[in-house]
Chain A
Amino acid sequence: MTGLHTTSKKRFPTRLAALTLLHLLAAPVYVVRFLVRTLRTLARFRTVRRGLIECPHCHGENALDLLATCRRCGVTEFGSRLHCSNCGQTNSGFACDACGALIRVL
């Protein structure tokens, strides 16, 4: 039993070093992923800032800001139909007002 404890204690620094090395190696991947996601989100959010989106199916124009009711918490407010300021629910898309086809925004 004593021998086992000793071996485990001896291995701890080695394991820590290996884990640190692994994290250092993986870090660039996480940084790149974070940057890509952030840029993509910012690019998509430009549409939200514009306030209008064209339906890819019927080409009808849909307003993104309306008197909208949140599907999760039921709060009705003047604001974006994609985000509820009460519960924080964010929807990636909505049904076109004209043809009912799904429009993906985020």
Chain B
Amino acid sequence: MNLLDLLFAGSRQASYQRAMANTRSRGITETDADAHRRIARELEPERGGFPFGTIGRDASPVRLPDETALASSLVIGASGSGKTRFILNLMQRAIERSLLSSADPLPVELELVDPKQETFDLLSQYIVALWLAADGATRERIASAVRVIDWSRDAVTPVAPFDNSAGEVSNTYLAYLRTDVAIQAGAHSYSGALRQAFFMFACVLVERRFPPNYRFAMRFLDDETYRRRILEGVADADVRAFFEEAKHSLPKQTRDALLRRIQSDMSFPEVRLSVGIPPPDLDRLLPRRATPIVLGNYGSSMTLPLAKGKERASYRLIDVLLSAPRRDPRRRGLLVIDESPMLLSEENELTAALMEGARTLRSAGMGVLFAAQDFANALPSQIVRTLMLNTRWWAVFQSREEAEWIYPHIARSPSDTSDADRHREFVRTVQNLRRQHFYLYVKGHSALPLRAPDVGDPAVRSAAELRAVFRREIASRSTIAARTAVDLIAKWEAEVVDGVSVPPAPLPSKARSPRGIDQLMKDLGLGK
């Protein structure tokens, strides 16, 4: 008999009494409904919080504390099960408390990444309804707080994916991230040589602060004198060497394939106009402003290949994740990724960054809400496991496999049925949940069967009217007309591609290290 046996033997009586009490409190006298109410009470914050739905026949409201509601989470459910409306309710409450509430204000930064357009459309209608009902000052506050990322043939939100003026990462890493995401998002196949050429070309764009442009790419790859002039402004010696020795490092097939890939990207007007504006013009046209609410529509709406929206959403997510560690953690942030398996299914840099983000963003005061119809089948098991472990709560609407995730966490009262029968019955129940009904599991508590709150439709005007007002009054602040974009791109091409002079290279960013002791002395003001 060892010491542990002696200790356990000594505490046997106390252990027996505690075990009796614990077993009794776990359900011998408590019904399911009582248990659910008790759990709901445990979750309830002292004040404020976010309404998550109602419980029981008397529809008692269930609220979650702010820090739990805005923590990382999973929302799962079949199409039409009420998942989108649930997310919408959460975002609406966050917007109301962030922009309008004086009684219970909560500064929140909200970012919506919607690859299918539906959530974006509904939320934009809701914001317009708020805007229409508000007075002049509030209207201005709402409109200036929202940034819209959208593209159409008439107007686009210009972006500069190869601009590293913020200097959050090195130029090479930014080029690497962009290349990796673009390669994974597209349906093209890439050889090792083409991948390398694409990466090196991205390095040139980042170093020179140039927008992606087919005519520039063509002249850069064809005209050696022009190429040498451009490379004079590239600090990275390896990139310079790669293109200076293009005859050896860039075989004709690879060069042609690279041009084909760039042409295929730039042939869509929405893409060309949104990424083609030179970053310095962009700074002048739409000065960067801090907007707490960013609505991103990355749906292709059957007018663009799906890969284009996916690529753009990935670019944006990378930007958000890169800047997240430097955000103020006192201001809560929520990144909502609708249909997240569309972006997570590949083993790429974005997936790695998002998984890392799911683990670490909590310390930056930011949560990520991953929504999907089905995680278990759409994603590799390793990613699913990471998501399950690193999320604070799950809302499971009508679904099949995910019912198994919830089953171990439901409150169980004693009954005559066997555990296997009860398990089968529960899985069947979750598969046939009615619209708006779901199981909420907050870690550390048992799962609760809830009904999601109703989301009022903004019935003040028709949807078409609301969309028009949204475009005119709110989206117009972050988009520019297609005509303007065409003019700016043509002007840049005339200056940089067709013109004899090449603009000087941008000043080195803060993150870049000085090149040699002479440069360092000069930077310190000690050089000649």
Contact = CB atoms under 8 A, between A and B. Distances in A.
Interface of A: 38, 41-42, 45, 48-49, 51, 55, 57-61, 63-68, 78-80, 82-83, 85, 88, 90, 98-101, 106
Given A51-B18, A79-B19, A85 B445 contact: no
* Chain B interface size range: 20 to 34
Interface string B1-35: 00111011101101110111011001000000000
B90 to A, nearest CB: 21
Contacts of A67: 19, 23
A60 B443 contact: yes
B446 to A, nearest CB: 8
B15 A65 contact: yes
A45 B125 CA distance: 59
A85 B11 contact: no
B408 A100 contact: yes
A48 B7 contact: yes
The 8 closest A-B pairs by CB, nearest first: A60-B444, A58-B443, A65-B18, A65-B19, A78-B19, A83-B8, A63-B22, A51-B18
A82 B7 CA distance: 12
Contact of A55 (B7, B19, B444, B446): B444
Nearest to A48: B11
Given A78-B19, A79-B16, A80-B15, A41 B7 contact: yes
B19 A106 contact: no
A59 B394 CA distance: 16
Nearest to A55: B444
B502 interface: no
Contact of A98 (B4, B5, B26, B443): B443
A66 B23 contact: yes
B443 A78 contact: no
B444 A88 contact: no
Contact of B11 (A49, A55, A63): A49
B407 to A, nearest CB: 12
Contacts of B316: none
A49 B14 contact: yes
B423 interface: no
Interface in B46-87: none
A99 B443 CA distance: 7
13 contacts: A41-B3, A42-B7, A48-B7, A65-B16, A65-B19, A66-B23, A79-B19, A85-B9, A88-B5, A90-B4, A90-B8, A98-B443, A101-B389
A80 B389 contact: no
Contacts of A106: 4
Contact of A45 (B4, B16, B19, B446): B4
A38 B22 contact: no
Interface in B429-447: 443-446
B400 interface: no
User: Which of B16, B20, B22 has the largest count of A CB atoms less than 10 A from its CB?
Assistant: B22
Contacts of B446: 98
Interface in B442-466: 443-446
User: Which of A45, A55, A58, A78 has the largest count of B CB atoms less than 10 A from its CB?
Assistant: A78
Contact of A79 (B7, B15, B26): B15
